[in-house]
Chains A and B, each alone.
Chain A
Amino acid sequence: MIHVEGVTKEINGNRILRGISFRVEAQTVLGIIGASGSGKTTLLRCLNGLERIDGGAIECDGVRLEGTLTAAEYARRVRQLRRKVGTVFQHFYLFPHLSALGNVVEAPIHVLGADRRTAETEGRELLTAVGLKHAFDRYPESLSGGEQQRVAIARALAMRPGVVLFDEPTSALDPRRVVETRALLRRFVERGHTMVIVSHSIDFLEGLADSLLYVEGGEVVEHAATATLLASPRDPRTADFLRQAH
């Protein structure tokens, strides 16, 4: 589903990503872990085209980004890529001037050209699925952090992306909501969604991610099945990080 090959990225002369490679199989969940400044968020932004990669390649569902492409061609492919990749941001970035339902149907109607009635029916189904049956017409300002996140998830899913990216889904939530969010995501995984989740919370990823990718200094240190990596990390740096994280 996703194939990342030797991706490099420099920002203001700092080499943030130094040749990252990994694969994500369809209908699996990849958790990306690492300390602050390890480059995991930048990696996620490269995956949805908000940052341009300098070298290497990203292939996702038939769309291929390469560091050597011209700006125009890169932009064209990013537009294709974004039809296949949805993103749930750390701070959600809901549209404050639109209701919960308005947030969800905005892109289907204006990007995909969907009929408003159909889009709204599907939007209501999605909001119901994330547990917001009562909040269709509420505006983001009046929603709690957990509710806002669920609107953001529904908004991303409304575009029927092959892959959903999550940036730090637990950072804005209190502990009880974390459990709810994990349960919610697991339901969507069971329905066949592919996910990439950047998180510093190993507890959250345990039992949700199929495999974990440990990133440090812009490089992949270790990539293994979740249980394997947590139980017996091969690299001492991974072991160090896990010790501190727990």
Chain B
Amino acid sequence: MDRRVCLTARASVALLCLLLASSAVRAQSELRWGADPSGGAPYVFADPANPERYIGYELEMVEALAAAMKRQPVFVPTDWETIVSSLQRGTFDIIVNGLEPTADRARLILFSKPYYVFQLQLTVRRTEERIETLEDCRTRMVGTLVNTAASRLLEKEQIPFKGYADPVGAYRDLELRRIDAVLMDVPMEMFYARQNPRLKPAGAPFHRGTYNIGLRQGDEALKREVDEAIDKITRDGTLERILRKWNLWNDAQAELSAPVPIGAPTGEERAAYDVTSTSFNWTEAILRLSRAALVTVLIAFGAIIIALIIGLPLAVGQSRGPRWIQALCTLYVEFFRGTPVLVQLLFLYFGLPRVGLAMPGWLTALVGLGLNYAAYESQVYRAALEAIPRGQWEAAYSLGMSPLLAFRRIILPQAFRIALPPMTNDFVALFKDTSVAFAISVWELATAYRELANASGEFLWLGVIVSAFYLAMSLPMAHLARRLERRLQRRQTVRTTAEPVAEAA
């Protein structure tokens, strides 16, 4: 017993030393790199055979780079849309995620030399015959990843498009006919669409661009280190081997292997490959925010109407219906209150098409939030209805009213007055909850903020503007509700004049 305790103690001390030592080493020679592994094939993604492990050509490339730099690679999973901000915040030191060196990004971060030449591929449904080139999409809806070379090209060409957070969602919506085409980098297209029998490529790959590694501004030393490492793995054929393994090698890559002098002016490189920048334009941004605000208002008001209409029968059914109706209503309420609205929206958007019901995103958000808030409204109604004394029902019945008439003329108006303040609360909350619609790629205000801010880095000022938009929508509603409340109140007490003299006499 004693010996075992002793051994354990010695082992822990040894382990502690090891940990301390390793962390000290790590601090010196780590290469912390960030990428978005969700829907991230073939760049970096969870191994389908072993989801604990990440694989991907960029993962292998970073391992090779790190080896050349004599550093230990540490992968930091992150979110594509906020990847530049995360780099700036210091969550990791480099971005290796098929990042294109656009001019607007170049204002925020440094770029290494290119390591891959990509092209874009347009994909359509197998049965599609109208679309062969991007030109054919002018009146159609094209899906793409947000904040990519593809999305910027579409923006520049003024082709209507819808931004997705990952390629899976875009190709699925294409299958479901929610959109008409998808424009994506060839590596992603090869992995997610090429094998799909319901989809086909439209035309040949086009619009050349490069992937570069992103670094924080001021990290010149690390940039030199990275550039040298890229040169090394390009020269010794490591990069080619990795790309061939992932079936990503093509003749265009050979351009990069042509010896480029280290420290060549980056301006030239950018001129060669950067055709996808959009400079940030405040007027345009505010215009787009206004459009997003309109979508938000549409979703919120539609959802409010659904919630108001469905909430009432739910409340009545739950408190007065036959037992099986009560059980059904309770089940509905508990389901929608007990599960996150985000999960409900994803279910409606991606789950329902399985049974043949594919709604567009904005309608899904409208219906989903409406159904969700109906559950809450039913409880507000129920509490309000139960707050009406039984004597009110009895007085109405005694005057010969039917239950329906008594409900409509006597109970409901009183219950409405009680329900109004909590209802107002809920609807202000609903306004803000419309932001979950970003999960299903609806271009509402929160999505717009994320995308515009990620593209420009203007989180602060865009945030102020977006907050102003939200307040401009919710404050008038709160004000309106308060006025209505006060008016209802005044109706009751406006004439609390002193009793007439005749009465007192």
- Whether A associates with B in a native complex is yes
- A positions within 8 Å CB-CB of B: 48-50, 79, 82-83, 85-87, 89, 91, 93-97, 106-107, 110-112, 134, 137-139, 141-142, 144, 147, 155-156, 159
Q: Which of B363-413 contact A (CB under 8 A)?
A: 389, 391-392, 394-402, 405, 409-410, 413
B389 in contact with A93 (CB, 8 Å): yes
B495 in contact with A79 (CB, 8 Å): no
Closest 9 CB pairs of A and B: A93-B395, A107-B399, A93-B391, A87-B398, A142-B496, A82-B400, A139-B492, A111-B400, A97-B413
B493 in contact with A107 (CB, 8 Å): no
B400 in contact with A96 (CB, 8 Å): no
- Evaluate whether A142 and B495 lie within 8 angstroms (CB atoms) in the complex, with A106-B399, A159-B399 already known: yes
* B284 located at the interface, meaning its Cβ lies under 8 Å from any Cβ of chain A in the complex: no
B491 in contact with A96 (CB, 8 Å): no
B499 in contact with A144 (CB, 8 Å): yes
A138 in contact with B395 (CB, 8 Å): no
- B positions within 8 Å CB-CB of A: 389, 391-392, 394-402, 405, 409-410, 413-414, 417, 488, 491-496, 499-500, 502-503
Complexed CA–CA distance, A79 and B403 (Å): 11
Kindly provide the distance from the CB of A162 to the nearest chain B CB, expressed in whole angstroms: 13
Q: Which of B399, B492, B500 contacts A111 (CB 8 A)?
A: B399
Across the two chains, which residue of chain B brings its CB closest to A97?
Answer: B413
Which B residues touch A142, using CB under 8 A? 492-493, 495-496
Which B residues touch A95, using CB under 8 A? 392, 395-396, 410, 414
Complexed CA–CA distance, A142 and B414 (Å): 17
Which A residues touch B410, using CB under 8 A? 95, 106
Kindly provide the distance from the CB of A137 to the nearest chain B CB, expressed in whole angstroms: 7
A82 in contact with B397 (CB, 8 Å): yes
Residue among A86, A87, A107 facing the most chain B CB atoms (10 A cut-off): A107
Across the two chains, which residue of chain A brings its CB closest to B402?
Answer: A79
Q: Which of B394, B397, B398, B493 contacts A139 (CB 8 A)?
A: B493
Which B residues touch A141, using CB under 8 A? 492-493, 496
A97 in contact with B417 (CB, 8 Å): yes
- Evaluate whether A137 and B400 lie within 8 angstroms (CB atoms) in the complex, with A50-B394, A93-B392, A95-B392 already known: no
Kindly provide the distance from the CB of A110 to the nearest chain B CB, expressed in whole angstroms: 6
Interface secondary structure of B, over-half rule: helix
Which B residues touch A82, using CB under 8 A? 397-400
Can you name 29 A-B pairs with beta carbons within 8 Å?
A48-B398, A49-B397, A50-B397, A82-B399, A86-B398, A89-B394, A89-B395, A89-B398, A93-B392, A93-B394, A95-B396, A95-B410, A95-B414, A97-B413, A97-B414, A97-B488, A97-B491, A97-B492, A106-B399, A106-B409, A107-B399, A110-B405, A111-B401, A134-B502, A139-B492, A141-B493, A142-B492, A142-B496, A144-B499
Kindly provide the distance from the CB of A109 to the nearest chain B CB, expressed in whole angstroms: 9
Complexed CA–CA distance, A82 and B405 (Å): 15
Kindly provide the distance from the CB of A77 to the nearest chain B CB, expressed in whole angstroms: 13
Kindly provide the distance from the CB of B411 to the nearest chain A CB, expressed in whole angstroms: 10
Complexed CA–CA distance, A110 and B396 (Å): 11
Which B residues touch A94, using CB under 8 A? 395
Residue among A89, A139, A159 facing the most chain B CB atoms (10 A cut-off): A139
Complexed CA–CA distance, A142 and B499 (Å): 10
Across the two chains, which residue of chain A brings its CB closest to B412?
Answer: A97
Complexed CA–CA distance, A197 and B494 (Å): 35
Which B residues touch A85, using CB under 8 A? 398
Across the two chains, which residue of chain A brings its CB closest to B492?
Answer: A139
Across the two chains, which residue of chain B brings its CB closest to A94?
Answer: B395
Complexed CA–CA distance, A142 and B396 (Å): 21
Across the two chains, which residue of chain B brings its CB closest to A83?
Answer: B400
Q: Which of B396, B398, B402, B414 contacts A96 (CB 8 A)?
A: B414
Residue among A89, A93, A141, A147 facing the most chain B CB atoms (10 A cut-off): A93
Given contacts A87-B398, A89-B394, A142-B496, 6 further A-B contacts (CB under 8 A): A50-B397, A79-B402, A141-B492, A141-B493, A142-B495, A159-B400
Complexed CA–CA distance, A96 and B411 (Å): 10
A139 in contact with B413 (CB, 8 Å): no
Across the two chains, which residue of chain A brings its CB closest to B408?
Answer: A110
B399 in contact with A155 (CB, 8 Å): yes
Which A residues touch B500, using CB under 8 A? 134
Complexed CA–CA distance, A89 and B392 (Å): 11
Q: Which of B391, B405, B494 contacts A89 (CB 8 A)?
A: B391
Kindly provide the distance from the CB of B306 to the nearest chain A CB, expressed in whole angstroms: 27
Complexed CA–CA distance, A3 and B395 (Å): 24
Across the two chains, which residue of chain A brings its CB closest to B405?
Answer: A110
A96 in contact with B401 (CB, 8 Å): no
- Evaluate whether A79 and B492 lie within 8 angstroms (CB atoms) in the complex, with A93-B394, A97-B417 already known: no
Q: Which of A89, A97, A107 contacts B400 (CB 8 A)?
A: A107
Kindly provide the distance from the CB of A104 to the nearest chain B CB, expressed in whole angstroms: 10
A50 in contact with B398 (CB, 8 Å): yes
Which A residues touch B413, using CB under 8 A? 97
Kindly provide the distance from the CB of B190 to the nearest chain A CB, expressed in whole angstroms: 68
Which B residues touch A110, using CB under 8 A? 401, 405, 409
Complexed CA–CA distance, A91 and B391 (Å): 8
Complexed CA–CA distance, A32 and B261 (Å): 113
Which A residues touch B502, using CB under 8 A? 134
A139 in contact with B399 (CB, 8 Å): no
Kindly provide the distance from the CB of A40 to the nearest chain B CB, expressed in whole angstroms: 17
Complexed CA–CA distance, A159 and B494 (Å): 28
Across the two chains, which residue of chain A brings its CB closest to B390?
Answer: A93
Residue among A91, A96, A155 facing the most chain B CB atoms (10 A cut-off): A96
Q: Which of B395, B400, B491, B496 contacts A79 (CB 8 A)?
A: B400
Which A residues touch B396, using CB under 8 A? 95
Complexed CA–CA distance, A49 and B396 (Å): 12
Complexed CA–CA distance, A91 and B500 (Å): 24
Complexed CA–CA distance, A156 and B395 (Å): 9
Kindly provide the distance from the CB of A185 to the nearest chain B CB, expressed in whole angstroms: 18
Which A residues touch B401, using CB under 8 A? 107, 110-111
Kindly provide the distance from the CB of B497 to the nearest chain A CB, expressed in whole angstroms: 8
Residue among B395, B398, B492 facing the most chain A CB atoms (10 A cut-off): B398
Which A residues touch B495, using CB under 8 A? 137-139, 142
Kindly provide the distance from the CB of B416 to the nearest chain A CB, expressed in whole angstroms: 9
Complexed CA–CA distance, A49 and B496 (Å): 36
Complexed CA–CA distance, A95 and B391 (Å): 10
Residue among B405, B409, B414, B488 facing the most chain A CB atoms (10 A cut-off): B409
Which A residues touch B488, using CB under 8 A? 97
Which B residues touch A137, using CB under 8 A? 495
